[in-house]
Amino acid sequence: MATLTLRQLEQFLAVAETMSFHRAAERLNMAQPPLTAAIRQLESLLGVRLLERGNRVTALTTAGAVLREEARRTLDQAQRAIELTQRAGQGLIGALRIGFVASATRHVLPPLISRFRHTHPGVALDLTEATTSQQLAALDEDRIDAGIVVLPLEPEVGLHIAQRRLLKSRMVAVLSADHPLAVAPGRSVPLAALAREPWILFPPTEGPGLYATIVNACVAAGFAPHVVQRATQMDTIIGLVAANLGVGLVPEALASTDMASVKFRRLTGPGTPVPYEVALVWRRKDPNPTVAALVDSCTGQDV
């Protein structure tokens, strides 16, 4: 079976569209004799006449007309393949699997995704809600390409996971609306004032860094929290507090939640502020160009 090159198709198409070896040679930026020879070789390869010609080209044969249309389609497809390959290499098309902690949906995830979709509409996004620990495991197992997690991470994680901080904030106390500290005057409470309270806390297995941050803050305030309930979602912690099961700490961004059943109070005194930081994480040696594009689109700082 005869095999054609893109260059042969390009040469024939130039002749077929200009109906002139001279003009086709000019279009291809080559001399006319080599072009004439190339068309003869093409006809010999295919075993058919492509052009009706005497001293000049007068018409395409039936076979030539068919090859003209197929050459146009093939060259267009080849150009499309080049463009798509280049765009994929630049991270402009492809797929991206992103994990995120639930609390990031308030202020971090929406602008990040909106900005990325605006600049990279050709990238398909697959978003998965998961805890920090679940996302780090998913990165290790190549089930996600990037994640939005709560800092700090364990030191050994940084050996293979890169980080870019997206949010630097603090945690606030959440109290039931009828709690004595909630009805007292003022918009703040000392962290030490929560020493004798039952606590609803994030489990250490799902976010050891955040858990350690909270416990260390309590220790600095002179007590160890008495944990009676655990919840992986900040909204769940708020709901359990509303049910009068205890007190908790949640990101300050959630303090805008309009709930009559709970009150949010800024923390003061020893152990405060209690930091709450969110970061984008990805595998350091990931060759996926869409990951690099996502990182480039983020505002923040490497940590």
The residue out of 89, 106, 129 marking a domain boundary is 89
pTM tops 0.95: no
pLDDT by residue (tens digit) across 205-262?
Answer: 988 999 999 999 999 999 999 999 999 999 999 999 999 999 999 999 888 766 789 9
221 CB-near residues (< 8 Å, 6+ apart): 190, 191, 192, 195, 269, 270, 271, 272
> Is beta strand 161-176 parallel, antiparallel or unpaired with respect to 188-190?
unpaired
One domain, residues 74 and 100: no
Rg (CA), the chain: 33
**For 106-141, b where at least 16 C-beta lie within 10 A, e where not — what string?**
bbbbeebbeebeeebeebeeeeeebbbbbbbebbee
One domain, residues 177 and 250: yes
Q: Domain range holding 292? A: 93-166+282-302
The residue out of 70, 89, 108 marking a domain boundary is 89
One domain, residues 16 and 84: yes
CATH number of the domain enclosing 135: 3.40.190.10
pLDDT by residue (tens digit) across 91-133?
Answer: 666 889 999 999 999 889 999 999 999 998 989 999 999 999 9
How many domains is the chain built from? 3
